[in-house]
């Protein structure tokens, strides 16, 4: 198992894997980047954009000389991809992914292979935009961003080292934590906000006056709903993939909204101001972290 992998295979070359390819080439960190996918046109575009050196639609060809495989596919495609790769896997292969939820990826890998292989290290780069596809990829996407790895008890330390090394080459900071802790944190900071933003725009879309109403939307609405321009299939998979943690966060939030509604109903200015003030203080104290 090579802790300094030289031959990388990207399975699915979209925004995240494409940006990883561009970042690794910017750093001249690896020898070869092979793209594996199902659409020749998309793979050719990824090569033309410089995210991969070569490509194939054949899983065996793609990973036969690879040190490390990065699954860059939507969560819902994990199990199918792993089944395709299964006949060609070798013991020294390091495998990681970029999925926004981790328990479901581990489950899918285990289901597809019988057990998670020793080279498998679940990962999640905390970076992205509301755009998707390799056309939206750019090499600095991970600069100074965090990548969370959730190594499994069954995994080898060298595999984690290899994946950590790779992400550092791409400009990211790497931390490790448990699958459950990752899934709970991301449900609150990412999955729930996406659900809330999609929900608000959908509610508006069903208003007969929505064309006019949107004409008067300003910067607050624009930023609040930016993530509602994200890929519907990807977010369907994330919400279902992290179903339990998302439901828990959503339930907590709905209780909070009920209390806020009671305060507005009761014209409880003191109570509302206290909530708003606590929120502003918390956000202002942390904004230099996520606004860098």
According to CB under 8 A, which residues from 245 to 264 bind a second copy?
246-247, 250-254, 256-258, 260-261, 264
- State yes or no: residue 196 binds a second copy (CB under 8 A): yes
- State yes or no: residue 87 binds a second copy (CB under 8 A): no
For the bound state, the minimum distance from the C-beta of residue 288 to a second copy, rounded and expressed in Å, comes to 11
**Angle, alpha carbons 153-86-50 (nearest 5°):** 95
Residue from 27, 129, 144, 157 in contact with a second copy (CB under 8 A): 129
d(CA 187, CA 71): 21
According to CB under 8 A, which residues from 165 to 184 bind a second copy?
none
> Closest Cα partner for 15 from 166, 125, 144, 180?
125
Task: Give the residue with the Cβ less far from a second copy, 112 or 272.
Answer: 272
Show Cβ contacts of residue 80 under 8 Å, excluding neighbours closer than 6 positions: 112
For the bound state, the minimum distance from the C-beta of residue 272 to a second copy, rounded and expressed in Å, comes to 5
> Closest Cα partner for 65 from 136, 8, 128?
8
Burial class (CB in 10 A: 0-12, 13-18, 19+), 163: buried
For the bound state, the minimum distance from the C-beta of residue 137 to a second copy, rounded and expressed in Å, comes to 15
- State yes or no: residue 269 binds a second copy (CB under 8 A): yes
For the bound state, the minimum distance from the C-beta of residue 149 to a second copy, rounded and expressed in Å, comes to 13
**Which of the stretches 55-63, 78-86, 156-164, 240-248 binds a second copy when contact is defined by CB under 8 A?**
240-248
Handedness of CA 173, 71, 79, 63 (dihedral sign): negative
């Amino acid at each position: 198992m090579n802790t300094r992998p030289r031959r990388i295979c990207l399975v699915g070359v979209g925004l995240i894997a494409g940006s990883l390819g561009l970042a690794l080439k910017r750093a001249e960190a690896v020898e070869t980047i092979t793209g594996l996918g199902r659409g020749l046109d998309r793979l050719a575009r990824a090569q033309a954009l410089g995210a991969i050196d070569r490509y194939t639609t054949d899983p065996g060809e793609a990973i036969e000389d690879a040190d490390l495989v990065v699954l860059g596919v939507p969560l819902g495609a994990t199990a199918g991809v792993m089944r395709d790769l299964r006949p060609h896997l070798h013991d020294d292969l390091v495998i990681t992914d970029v999925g926004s939820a981790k328990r479901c990826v581990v489950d899918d890998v285990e289901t597809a292979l019988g057990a998670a292989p020793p080279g498998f290290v679940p990962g999640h780069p905390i970076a992205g935009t509301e755009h998707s596809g390799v056309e939206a990829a750019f090499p600095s996407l991970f600069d100074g961003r965090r990548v969370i790895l959730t190594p499994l008890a069954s995994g080898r330390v060298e595999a984690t080292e290899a994946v950590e090394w790779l992400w550092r080459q791409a400009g990211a900071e790497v931390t490790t934590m448990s699958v459950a802790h990752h899934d709970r944190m991301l449900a609150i900071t990412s999955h729930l906000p996406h659900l809330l933003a999609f929900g608000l725009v959908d509610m508006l879309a069903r208003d007969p006056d929505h064309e006019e109403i949107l004409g008067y939307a300003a910067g607050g609405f624009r930023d609040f709903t930016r993530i509602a321009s994200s890929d519907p299939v990807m977010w369907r998979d994330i919400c279902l993939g992290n179903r339990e943690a998302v439901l828990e966060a959503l339930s907590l939030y709905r209780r909070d909204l009920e209390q806020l509604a009671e305060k507005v109903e009761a014209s409880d200015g003191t109570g509302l101001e206290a909530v708003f003030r606590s929120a502003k203080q918390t956000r202002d104290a942390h904004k230099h972290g996520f606004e860098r």
